[in-house]
Amino acid sequence: MAMTASQKILAAHAGLDQVSPGQLVKAKVDLVLGNDITSPVALAAYREAGFGKVFDPERIALVMDHFTPNKDIKAAEQCREVRLFAREQGIKHFYDVGEMGVEHALLPEKGLAAPGELIIGADSHTCTYGALNAFSTGVGSTDMAAGMAKGIAWFKVPAALRFTLTGSLGRWVSGKDVILHIIGMIGVDGALYRSMEFTGPGVAALGIDDRLCVANMAIEAGAKNGIFPADSVTRAYLRGRVSRAWTETDADAGAEYERDCTIDLSAVRPTVAAPHLPGNAVTLDGIPEAPIDQVVIGSCTNGRISDLRIAAEVLKGRKAAKDVRVVIIPATQLIYRQAIDEGLVGIFLDAGCAVSTPTCGPCLGGHMGILAKGERAVATTNRNFVGRMGHPESEVYLASPAVAAASAVLGRVGSPEEL
């Protein structure tokens, strides 16, 4: 039986010759991820089950990134609990203030994801690592606890949708526009518990940061995971980061897909998601000229160095509109340092922006940019649900770094071409 890339990875980790959609399998995992919100819940389940030592202290990653530096007493206590567990268990990949970054940017940067690997994380955007040809997916905190203890997890093998990419991206268009376009096309449940597999000649036109962004938001279409093939772009990114052997995994010829979609990248235009769903995708000419109060550029979706470079290109020599607050959040310490060394931080400061230490912060309504009643934001984050970034009567437009930066200057949702 021919299998998709995701099915082949699951089969290999379950010790099976083949698997089929809907089948339940028990598979070995290569990495288990938790953060400062989900890990305390997992630790409670871990202790309740009577687990002792973790299955492998080098294959667990704990990243304190959501409410850190701690915003209040509860956040401080949650991080302390995870910190003590990491010390007790000798967890190698524990990242706290000064070392941490937004988890889904940090783990690829640290070389903790590679082709053919199976990764689970107690965070829905764990699907990010499919950009590196891994099968990665979010799980609940109890599954995280079992994964830490035993190094295994149960999976229902997903069916798949295939997205064949052709052409190349135009000026001011990025992976964020591509995934918003796709979610707008198929809907927020269009890939429900399916694998979104990206293929075709257009894949080569996407940089690794574009792919990380696209895979990150597969969950916003309801997908179990998103996955790209490994190619020269993948290998160049992994070079110097990953020394262990990996297995590049492609779909078999004749693999079955529930749906085939062809996306001409050259036809994708700058796209935003209007409140209150990532599926409310519209091009900029479909947005009313409503004033905005805040812009956030960062997150596990768009806080990488290429994103900051694009934002700086738009903001250089310009000022944010008088009544617009702009928060820039480099996704990791390394990215922060690169932004300083390249002069990007200076550009942001000259434009009137606040530059934050790496944190998930405002993306989930945590801190560093909460919205008040009636306020409207443009953000490079991945969700714009009701109340996502603050008051339930606030609004969030999801956009690329280029559109977000231009909107900061214009004082409304807009394009760099308008500047």
* Predicted pLDDT at 288: 84
How many residues are recorded in the chain?
419
Count of the separate structural domains present in the chain: 2
Q: Give the DSSP per-residue string, 129-184.
A: GGGGT-EEEE--HHHHHHHHHHSEEEEEPPEEEEEEEES---TT--HHHHHHHHHH
Q: Which residues are CB-contacts of 190 (< 8 A; sequence separation ≥ 6)?
A: 161, 183, 221, 222
Instruction: Give the chain's count of helices (H) and strands (E).
Output: 13, 18
180 and 283 in one domain? no
Question: Residues 230, 131: contact at Cβ < 8 Å?
Answer: no
341 and 246 in one domain? no
101 and 52 in one domain? yes
- Residue pLDDT tens, the chain, 419 long: 899 999 999 999 999 999 999 999 999 999 999 999 999 999 999 999 999 999 999 999 999 999 989 999 999 999 999 999 999 999 999 999 999 899 999 999 999 999 999 999 999 999 999 999 999 999 999 999 999 999 999 999 999 999 999 999 999 999 999 999 999 999 999 999 999 999 999 999 999 999 999 999 999 999 999 999 999 999 999 999 999 999 999 999 999 999 999 999 999 999 999 999 999 999 998 888 889 999 999 999 999 999 999 999 999 999 999 999 999 999 999 999 999 999 999 999 999 999 999 999 898 888 999 999 999 999 999 999 999 999 999 999 999 999 999 999 999 999 999 98
Tally of CA atoms within 13 A in the half-sphere of 419 that contains its CB: 25
**Strand pairing report for 152-156 and 325-328:** unpaired
346 and 296 in one domain? yes
- Domain of residue 388, residue span: 271-418
Q: Which residues are CB-contacts of 3 (< 8 A; sequence separation ≥ 6)?
A: 11, 18, 19, 251, 252, 255
Please give the structure tokens belonging to residue 203: 């894949």
∠ CA 158-360-58, nearest 5°, is: 65
∠ CA 16-19-20, nearest 5°, is: 170
* Predicted pLDDT at 258: 96
83 and 219 in one domain? yes
* Predicted pLDDT at 287: 87
Tell me which residue has tokens 């990134």.
65
CATH number at residue 308: 3.30.499.10
Tell me which residue has tokens 């979010």.
138
CA 83 to chain centre: 24
**Residues 237-274: tens digit of each pLDDT:** 999 999 999 999 999 999 999 999 999 999 999 999 99
Give buried/exposed letters for 379-393 (b at 16+ CB in 10 A, else e). Answer: bbbbbbeeebbbeee
255 and 294 in one domain? no
164: buried, middle or exposed (CB in 10 Å: 19+, 13-18, 0-12)? middle
- Per DSSP, 123 falls in state S
* Predicted pLDDT at 68: 87
Q: What distances in angstroms separate CA 146 from CA 2, 14, 72, 237, one per listed residue?
A: 31, 16, 29, 31
309 and 238 in one domain? no
279 and 236 in one domain? no
Last residue of a domain, one of 235, 264, 293: 264
The pTM for the full model equals 0.95
302 and 239 in one domain? no
Question: Residues 303, 330: contact at Cβ < 8 Å?
Answer: yes
72 and 33 in one domain? yes
Last residue of a domain, one of 264, 287, 302: 264
Last residue of a domain, one of 227, 246, 264: 264
80 and 211 in one domain? yes
247 and 280 in one domain? no
